[in-house]
Structure 1
Amino acid sequence: MSMKNVRAREFGEVLRVVIADTGMNSRAIAEMLDWEERKLVDLINGDAGVSERDLALLLGVCRTPAEDRDRLLAVLPHLGRRGWWQEHGACAPIRQRTLAEHERMARKLVSWQLSHLHTLMQLQEYTRAVVRAGANVPESEVDARVEARTARQVVLRLGLQCVFYVHESVLLAPVGGHEVMEAQLQHLQRLARRPHVEVRVVPLAAGAHAGLAGAFDLLTFERYDPVVFVENENSSLVVEEPAAVAAYQRVVEALDGVALDREESLGSIGQLLA
């Protein structure tokens, strides 16, 4: 089953919140729009599409906040499609709802990181340093971005199976300064000892390897086909085509061949703390 169904569900959930905030029920809103109530209910449940004009009318009636309005208008053209390249403007949105929804529904996450630790593994001060280092993030948004990224970590507490491949250079970079990085490495040790979390270090000694093309997240699900997320400075790509996803799966297999095993990786982290 394609992840286009997840996008429809995400669309409906945002819309449900928007409608709830009006204090009106679906029947009252449908009457204001001269719609059948079933049309609105199907849209909320992710069982139907809508034209941009009708969505604009609905959002106007609901006096939708700008963030929710922009989110719904951004998702609308991609309902029913495989794959999704989304441009964000100057930088990514504060709350990456599509990614968070996919993480929440996933059975397993396999991640490869070249430049910094995965968001799900970051302490708040590490996250703050990463966010502040961004060339296009206004200072006024730093706290909100840190909060939004930290909130995604709930999936670890819910038991999401994770394998984090991380380049050794990431562990050596003093993000946030020495004290922050030391605390982060200690946190990484604790996470790596959880039964559903596996941290695999790709050593500098590996030299050239299949992961040099860039970072990505591979998500697998109980009911849906696997997808890959690739993030850039001001855009993100959801990869759904089976052949393209298979290419990333081959990268994971290659990384497995050069990465330290679980215990060796824990030892590597411990040596940096010694």
Structure 2
Amino acid sequence: MSSEPLSANGGSTSAPVGVVLHRLRTEAGITGQQLGQMVRMSQSKISRIETGAVTVSPRDAGRLARALGASPETIAWVTEQAELSQNRLTDMRSATGSIIVSGRSVASTESGGREFRVFQPVVVVGLAQTAEYARAVLLGVHDARRAAFPDLGEIVVAEAVSARVRRQEVLNNPDCRFFFVMTESVLSNAIVAPEFMLAQIKRLQQLADRPNVELKIIPTAGSWSILHLHGFEVIDDGRVVIDVLNTSIITSGSQDVTLYRHAFDELDHSATGEIRPILESYRRHYLKQLY
């Protein structure tokens, strides 16, 4: 592990990366605008990095330190600290346990994304849920959280459902690509009445027919190349959203992203794209329950 950097006067520092970069720039007598021109970065971005308003990537941290004439030890230190900072998991839970806050955090993370890889082992992928199905899922999460937050109101469920349905508008963007992997047990988990499960199955088939959507299912009788117990979403190979009962956890750390992209690829390898027979089997199953 690299040691902490030394400032020009020889004093060590345990300050954040942005502060260290600001100190290096000041000691070098270079303005933010001049530094921006040197590394082809806007002055405003440099200012946000120095003040900690944004998390600097390891690549940018190294570029800036090198441009400022930092020692090899300092360059290695700021790069390492930037990597460690990115690898921290951000817990998006609210003080009230609200599912609305969690949903907004996920929507913000998804914003601007172009490639979405989503795995779900228990319920249908959120971007593919019908309104009735989403209501049942979110109500279940809401009720579970009330064990810790008894004052949660019911009205937030309706708002959260509306927000989830609005998030699905991104599916209409032809420039975006979606890769969905679910287990077959998602279809057997009848969390809504048979007529609503039928509507959900129809929705899945409609999505699978879209040119920008690839939907796969891991058959119950199939073999898993990797065992995974919770849902997650990889966005543009740069961010990961991890689902847990009480919150959503978000990370942009390269190690975390690499891990979850590998997990998705392994799960995708275990899945089949020939989903029509599976969907048809469950369609008949729920039809029998109606008649």
Q: Tell whether the structures are fold-level matches, with TM greater than 0.5.
A: yes
Residue number among 169, 176, 185 corresponding to 2:185 in the alignment: 169
Indicate if the aligned counterparts of 1:216 and 1:231 stay in contact, CA closer than 8 A. yes
Indicate if the aligned counterparts of 2:122 and 2:186 stay in contact, CA closer than 8 A. yes
Q: Give the AA of the match of 2:171.
A: L
- Once the two structures are TM-superposed, the CA of residue 109 in structure 1 deviates from its matched residue by 0.4
TM-score (norm 2): 0.61
- Partner residue, 2:277: 267
Distance 1:92 1:231, change over 3 A: farther
- Partner residue, 2:255: 243
For 1:88-167, what aligned pairs fall within 5 Å after superposition? Answer: 88-95=94-101, 96-134=103-141, 135=143, 136=145, 138-159=153-174, 160-167=176-183
- Partner residue, 2:242: 230
2:225 & 2:180 partners in 1: Cα distance? Answer: 16
2:225 & 2:188 partners in 1: Cα distance? Answer: 19
- Once the two structures are TM-superposed, the CA of residue 203 in structure 1 deviates from its matched residue by 0.8
Runs of 4+ in 1 over 4 A off after TM superposition: 45-51
Identify which of structures 1 and 2 has the higher relative contact order when contacts are C-alpha pairs closer than 8 Å and 6+ apart.
1
- Partner residue, 1:85: 90
Q: Give the AA of the match of 1:270.
A: E
- Once the two structures are TM-superposed, the CA of residue 103 in structure 1 deviates from its matched residue by 1.9
Q: Give the AA of the match of 1:229.
A: V
- Structure 2: give runs of 5+ residues left out of the alignment: 1-43, 54-84, 146-151, 285-291
- Once the two structures are TM-superposed, the CA of residue 199 in structure 1 deviates from its matched residue by 0.8
CA deviations on 1:27-48 (whole Å, 9 max, x unpaired) are: xxxxxxxxxxxxxxx69x9788
- Once the two structures are TM-superposed, the CA of residue 97 in structure 1 deviates from its matched residue by 2.9
Q: Give the AA of the match of 1:91.
A: G
Tell me the C-alpha RMSD between the 2 structures. Answer: 2.6
2:52 & 2:97 partners in 1: Cα distance? Answer: 28
2:95 & 2:260 partners in 1: Cα distance? Answer: 27
Q: Give the AA of the match of 2:112.
A: M
Identity score, percent: 26
- Partner residue, 1:76: none
Equivalenced residues, count: 198
TM-score (norm 1): 0.65
Q: Give the AA of the match of 2:156.
A: E
2:52 & 2:223 partners in 1: Cα distance? Answer: 51
- Once the two structures are TM-superposed, the CA of residue 140 in structure 1 deviates from its matched residue by 2.2
- Once the two structures are TM-superposed, the CA of residue 239 in structure 1 deviates from its matched residue by 2.1
- Structure 1: give runs of 5+ residues left out of the alignment: 1-41, 52-80
- Once the two structures are TM-superposed, the CA of residue 143 in structure 1 deviates from its matched residue by 0.9
Larger Rg: 2
Choose 194-203 or 228-237, whichever is displaced more: 228-237
Q: Give the AA of the match of 2:134.
A: T
2:130 & 2:194 partners in 1: Cα distance? Answer: 14
